[in-house]
Amino acid sequence: MSFDTNAFLIIFTGSLIAISCGFLGVFMMLRKMSMTGDAISHAVLPGIVIGFFVSGSQRSLEVIIGAGLLGILATLMIDWLRKKARVQLDASIGITFTLLFAIGIILVNVLAYKVDLDQECVLYGEIAYLPIDSWITQNGLNLGPRITWLAGLNFVFVCGFIYLLFKELALTSFDENFSSVMGLPSKGINLALMSIVSYTTVSSFESVGAILVVALLVVPPATAFLWTKSLIPLLKLTAVMGVLIALLGYYLAYWIDSSIAGMMVTVAGVFFLISALIHSKKPLWLRGTSPHAQPLELK
Amino acid sequence: MEDFVYFFTFQDPSIAWVVLGITLLGVGSAYVGTFSFLDKKALLGDAISHAVLPGICLGFVLAGEKNPVYIVTGAFLSGAVATFLSSWLKRNTKLSEDTIIATILSVFFGFGIVLLTALQKSGNPEVAGLNSFIFGNAIGISESDLLLYGGLALAIILVLTVALKEFRLMVFDPEFGKAIGFPMKAITFLFNVLMILAVVIGIQAIGVVLMAALLITPGAAARFWTDRLNPLLILAAFFSVVSGILGTYVSFVIPQMPTGPWVVVFLSLFAVVSFLVSPKSGMLFRYFARKKYLTKTHREHLLKALYKAKENGRPGLTIDEIYELYPFQKPETKQSITDLEKLNFIDKNQQIIDLTSKGVTEAMRVVRLHRLWELYLNESMNIAPDHVHDSAEQLEHLITPELEAMLEQRFNFPALDPHQEPIPRPEKK
């Protein structure tokens, strides 16, 4: 097969997005906040629509700011419902994201004649159009696809964020009380993580869609977690898986002519299922007298 | 206004049908949702509602058209697979529940999107209708659809009503149910079936993404008004039906509006109002109750201070002395002085504040409770005399007359507290 620039660009962008989401997802999962990630990715919709309405374009700073604010608002609202109104956690997540998402959909419909924003585009995105949508400077210099740049920028942000705050993130994820005692602003770190999750959601929603971002946030970390328990291998495995699902997802989607983002998630789901089957507790008749009974090797 | 009358008099039989359908659906999903909310499994409903999408697409592929029976069956089956997978993963892997739910939800939805996109690219004109499953459109439901959905909703309501006792056991105490011989596994299974069914019939009207609200929000909102199961179910159903009808009305008046989001907005409105104003557990209520309690304690502390001044042989305290006793609380102190004057507990005599005879009786009561509690802690709980003050400072506002009588009897009307201060009692006439 000859080298296909478009395919390469799509896979490259997909991998970037999958890795950024996966890295953040690892910490979300360790904090038992996977569903909060889901809630945020739904809740940014009204922010996107309002930002779009104010600025008139999908590529503006306003969209990112609007979505970021809504993401933080969602986190605060969940917290408020749980602590101040004393609703149980799962219900407060459910109420928050459905309300914000409903408002988003209503806004899309209200502003439909002013905003060229497709519900479906927001929901599942289309990474396949990426090579057409180039970033051209004023002197007509073609710098390549805009979304790839966005994804790259986001990737740099996420990696920088995790690199700089690694110790703090790890500590607050595993032992929040201890980190508070140590004097770390665990609430602030939590909010920072949520804001970067919202930012990632926004910058990915054009290509993979708001809902499938959730899959990239949750599934690769969950799969990696089935194979390892320590943090660094967890991050590495997540990254490898991100690249793999982008690669396989693209070619499978190309083969049956369907949504690339959806296919990436499906591939991730298959990986997850296989890992779960391998690492689940086996029924007795399968276990037999196999090497499972042997003691673990010490390194 | 014309629209309003036209809609709510149900002249148009199709509107009457849709409202009937929404009512049945609302009641059914509110019932199921309330149980799952009480069982702390609210988000499983969200996972199921996303997970039915591939089933809908497969049902469509098999039927070749938008046949409700195929679609409902397909949706039901894929919802069942998702439910089974999530409980299997929970039992057999080390993943936490929220990770499992988020995984199932997104993977099934992703797969559904793959199928949906493939179908859309296949060029079948009927596919356009499938999109309504994502956001829901109650007005677009045909009468034959309605018969199926309404019948299923009715079946859910009936089963839940007939087996109310069993489901109550499942939610509140499954171990006890098992012990007295109920087949709890079968009951849980039946409940899961009902939940999937509720989701399947709901998505046509509300849509895949927002179906979770119809399950979670009514129960959560109703929970603020009552502690009993039956009123809870009725109230949840009421919230759900009213929001359903209002949402349908909006999408009837403004045709380009989808029904689902409006239903959710109305439901959330009910929920937020409940969180704020419901008696006992509402935020406003709790805020005012706390404020009332704080002013009461402050008032009683003031009375106590005045009484102590009297004990030391002083005629009363000046206002400035009182302010100095409670630094940084000047407005509260001022309020307390006004309140006490109104209650006729204190007299203001040229900047000097003194207790009236009524005030002395009340102050004696507070001081007596304080010192009785100190004595109790010291004598019966073996706490050192220098450690008992703080607890007494709080309990003096709470001890009831009954408890006071018991303490008095226990120590046989003691004269002194652990700090050798007299325990005051009004003189017997």
Residue B70 lies in a domain: yes
What's the pLDDT score for residue B34?
92
Residue B414 lies in a domain: no
Residue B160 lies in a domain: yes
Residue B29 lies in a domain: yes
B123–A contact, CB cutoff 8 A: no
A88–B contact, CB cutoff 8 A: yes
**Contacts of residue A238 in chain B, CB cutoff 8 Å?**
none
pLDDT tens digits, A24-58: 999 988 888 888 888 888 888 888 888 888 877 66
**Could you tell me the residue ranges of all domains in chain A?**
5-133+144-279
Query: Do B163 and B225 share a structural domain?
Result: yes
Instruction: Enumerate residues 79 to 118 of chain B having a beta carbon within 8 A of any beta carbon in chain A.
Output: 88-89, 91-96, 98-103, 105-118
- Of B276, B309, B329, which marks where a domain is finished? B276
B58–A contact, CB cutoff 8 A: no
**Contacts of residue B113 in chain A, CB cutoff 8 Å?**
124, 209, 212, 259, 261-262, 265
Residue B222 lies in a domain: yes
B131 is in which domain, residue-wise? 2-276
Query: Do B322 and B215 share a structural domain?
Result: no
With beta carbons less than 8 A apart as the criterion, state whether B166 and B3 touch.
Answer: no
Cα–Cα distance measured from residue B75 to residue B197, given in angstroms and rounded to the nearest whole number: 9
Fold for the domain defined by A5-133+144-279: ABC transporter involved in vitamin B12 uptake, BtuC (1.10.3470)
With beta carbons less than 8 A apart as the criterion, state whether B102 and B43 touch.
Answer: no
pLDDT tens digits, B131-149: 667 766 666 667 777 788 8
Cα–Cα distance measured from residue A260 to residue B114, given in angstroms and rounded to the nearest whole number: 8
Residue B367 lies in a domain: no
Query: Do B173 and B314 share a structural domain?
Result: no
pLDDT tier at A261, thresholds 50, 70, 90: confident
What b/e string do you get for A26-50 counting C-beta neighbours within 10 Å, with b at 16 or more?
bbbbbbebbbbbbbbbbbbbbbbbb
CB contact (8 A) between residue A276 and residue B93: yes
Cα–Cα distance measured from residue A194 to residue A70, given in angstroms and rounded to the nearest whole number: 11
B256–A contact, CB cutoff 8 A: yes
Sign of the alpha-carbon torsion through A218, A219, A220, A225: positive
Q: Tokens 């057999």 map to which residue?
A: B92
A99–B contact, CB cutoff 8 A: yes
- Of B355, B382, B410, which marks where a domain is finished? B355
Q: Check which CATH number belongs to the domain holding B321 and give it.
A: 1.10.10
Q: pLDDT: is A299 or B198 the higher one? A: B198
Query: Do B343 and B256 share a structural domain?
Result: no
- Residues with Cβ within 8 Å of residue B150, at least 6 apart in sequence: B20, B21, B24, B25
A228–B contact, CB cutoff 8 A: no
Query: Do B289 and B253 share a structural domain?
Result: no
With beta carbons less than 8 A apart as the criterion, state whether A75 and A191 touch.
Answer: yes
Cα–Cα distance measured from residue B98 to residue A35, given in angstroms and rounded to the nearest whole number: 6
pLDDT at A272 over 60: yes
Q: pLDDT: is A164 or A209 the higher one? A: A164
- Residues with Cβ within 8 Å of residue B353, at least 6 apart in sequence: B306, B316, B317, B318, B319, B322, B337, B346, B347
With beta carbons less than 8 A apart as the criterion, state whether A151 and A207 touch.
Answer: yes
**Among B110, B134, B215, whose Cβ lies nearest the Cβ of A215?**
B110
Query: Do B289 and B266 share a structural domain?
Result: no
Cα–Cα distance measured from residue B134 to residue B130, given in angstroms and rounded to the nearest whole number: 8
**Contacts of residue B95 in chain A, CB cutoff 8 Å?**
222, 225-226
pLDDT at A131 over 70: no
A225-250: average pLDDT: 89
Q: Check which CATH number belongs to the domain holding B252 and give it.
A: 1.10.3470.10
Query: Do B333 and B203 share a structural domain?
Result: no
**Contacts of residue A121 in chain B, CB cutoff 8 Å?**
none
Query: Do B296 and B262 share a structural domain?
Result: no
Query: Do B299 and B151 share a structural domain?
Result: no
The tokens for B336 are 């307390």
Mutate to test the interface with B, among A84, A92, A105 (most CBs of B within 10 A): A105
- Of B276, B293, B308, which marks where a domain is finished? B276
Digit-by-digit pLDDT tens for chain B (429 residues) are: 667 777 777 677 777 887 888 888 889 999 999 999 998 888 888 889 888 889 988 888 888 777 778 888 888 999 999 999 998 888 888 888 888 998 998 899 888 888 888 887 777 666 666 666 776 666 666 777 778 888 888 999 999 999 888 888 888 888 998 899 888 889 989 999 999 998 888 887 777 778 888 888 999 999 888 888 899 999 999 999 999 888 888 878 887 777 788 889 999 999 989 888 888 778 888 889 899 998 888 888 888 888 888 888 877 778 888 888 888 888 888 888 888 888 888 888 777 888 888 888 888 888 888 888 888 888 888 888 888 888 888 888 888 889 888 888 888 888 888 888 888 887 765
Sign of the alpha-carbon torsion through A207, A210, A216, A217: positive
Query: Do B215 and B254 share a structural domain?
Result: yes
**Contacts of residue A77 in chain B, CB cutoff 8 Å?**
none
Cα–Cα distance measured from residue B78 to residue B333, given in angstroms and rounded to the nearest whole number: 65
> According to the 3-state scheme, what is the secondary structure of B122-154?
HCCHHHHHHHHHHHCCCCCCCHHHHHHHHHHHH
Query: Do B270 and B322 share a structural domain?
Result: no
Chain A: residue whose CA lies nearest to B104: A269
B227–A contact, CB cutoff 8 A: no
Nearest alpha carbon to residue A81 among B247, B223, B261, B235: B223
A144–B contact, CB cutoff 8 A: no
Domain count, chain B: 2
Backbone angles phi, psi at B208, to 5 degrees: -60, -45
Residue B378 lies in a domain: no
Chain A: residue whose CA lies nearest to B211: A98
ipTM value, please give it: 0.85
Nearest alpha carbon to residue B266 among B244, B298, B285, B299: B244
Query: Do B258 and B333 share a structural domain?
Result: no
Distances in Å between the Cα of B316 and the Cα atoms of A186, B54, B327 are 51, 81, 19
Cα–Cα distance measured from residue A185 to residue A181, given in angstroms and rounded to the nearest whole number: 10
**Contacts of residue A226 in chain B, CB cutoff 8 Å?**
93-95
Mutate to test the interface with B, among A17, A95, A219 (most CBs of B within 10 A): A95
